[in-house]
Chains A and B, each alone.
Chain A
Amino acid sequence: MWSDDRTALQTALVMTLLLLLVYPDKAWYVRVPVTILAVAALVVERLRLSPLLWLTGGLLLLTAALSRWSTTDNHRYLMGYWLLAIAVALLGAEPEAVLKRSARLLVGLCFLFAALWKVVSPDYMDGTFFHYALLSDKRFTLLAEWLGGVTPRMHQLNAAAISGLQNYASSLQSVRLFDGPNTRPLAIAITVWTVAVEGLLALLFLLPPRFRITWGRDFVILIFALTTYAVAPVLAFGWVLLILGFVQASEHRSFVRPAYLLVFLGLQVYAAPWPQILKTVMGRAG
């Protein structure tokens, strides 16, 4: 069904509209107009091929991202760029081919800069960052508790220690955190895996498709999405990457685009409150 690039383009546009509706901007003055545009384009097929609609959406997202630059996460910029890329592609002939190139390059450049940042950060490459994240970042709680040996009580005490350090009336300059028995080796494993896979994705997506090695990029990015967003549930970013991956996929391999769609849908499973669910289930079993 998606071996035809034209059909795939329509599907990708629908996926993008769903992205805008499921992960809207926090600011109402962006959320409301973007929602109107997205719903209109979902309902009226002709609007989906309007460059002006996508340009408007992209500019709204990027303006909001820039106006809140100190708090905006990087995937909001990527969403804005993607909408602009759609607008630019729809301006002229062969929009499918143009969008495939944009999608491939956007993915490649994201991972290039992500890998670069990790390589140049001394506190990343030695495992320090992930050691700290496992002990202090709520997004990694389940991973730290299941594989790192950090208990919920340790997490509570660590949060209290950090809060005490950062309190406005505090005179503390240092606090000690509680550590699990396996946290440091786990941190190093995640560190190595992440920088390796991001570097590999940068290479596979930035190399032109004529290089045979790039045929593996769809497999690698799907594995990346399935593993990364189980741990760091920034699902909007996952969806953007999967839409870009879907668009740039080769029409000659008929199983690839359905695989992207499957993961696109399946990623929502990660949105469930698994820490609470598992604690409830295990509590009842115990």
Chain B
Amino acid sequence: MMARVMAARGWIVPAILATVAALQFCAAQMGGLSAWKGGGFGMFSTVDSPGSRFLRVALLTGGSRVLVPVPRELARAASEARTWPTEARLAALARPMVRGRWVPAAIVPVAPSPAALMIGPFRMQRPDEPPAAAIDAQAVLVELWKADFHSAECRIVAFPLQRMRLERSDRVVR
């Protein structure tokens, strides 16, 4: 048995490549994984790369929606959510954002009025920063958008691929 394995060992690593590439193909065809990543060979085969997918995140504060950037600390979570969007990955991105302290990115008075507090842009405070007056986000809406290219019109048309609304209580609203 061992002698046969040793004689056929030239096939082992190619078999591993084929297995991983086949699994990636299935995950991309059926599970939303981008063709460009995940151990396959789909780069340069479709417009739908992780780079052409993008996130739009809104904090929901009572009656208003505040669009916010994804913090740098969550760049990896954002990258994974863009490349292979699943409910778990969107939640991994949404959870720290709904629980974070969002403050105006510009300099504001020590005790800003509620109206002044809602003037963007906003950033999420780091845990080591002293708490500042923050907006009261009750939920976060994370949308992953996908871009298609309409060649005849030379136009990029984007549409939401997946969305998740996560409340501060960790409840997902569908």
Q: Which residues of A contact B (CB under 8 A)?
A: 65-66, 69-74, 77-78, 81-82, 84-85, 88-89, 91-93, 97-102, 105-106, 109-111, 113-114, 116-118, 120-121, 123-124, 126-129, 131-133, 135, 161-162, 165-166, 168-170, 172-179, 184, 187, 194, 232
Contact = CB atoms under 8 A, between A and B. Distances in A.
A99 B14 CA distance: 11
B79 A70 contact: yes
28 contacts: A66-B39, A70-B37, A70-B76, A70-B84, A74-B41, A81-B14, A81-B16, A88-B9, A89-B10, A92-B6, A100-B10, A102-B11, A105-B10, A106-B13, A110-B17, A110-B41, A113-B41, A121-B35, A121-B46, A123-B46, A124-B46, A129-B45, A168-B70, A169-B120, A173-B157, A174-B156, A175-B155, A177-B155
Contacts of B84: 70
Nearest to A86: B13
Which DSSP category, helix, strand, loop or mixed, fits chain A's interface? helix
Contacts of B76: 70
Contacts of A170: 56
B57 interface: yes
A131 B155 CA distance: 11
Contacts of A78: 17
Given A74-B39, A114-B41, A126 B151 contact: yes
Nearest to A122: B46
Contacts of A111: 41
A116 B20 contact: no
B9 A117 contact: no
B91 interface: no
B6 A91 contact: yes
Interface residues of B, number: 55
Interface stretch (B47-55, B128-136, B166-174): B47-55
Contacts of B39: 65-66, 69, 72, 74, 77
A247 to B, nearest CB: 11
B73 interface: no
B25 A168 contact: no
Contact of B156 (A66, A169, A177): A177
A70 B151 contact: no
A91 B156 contact: no
Interface in B22-61: 25, 29, 35, 37-48, 50, 54-57
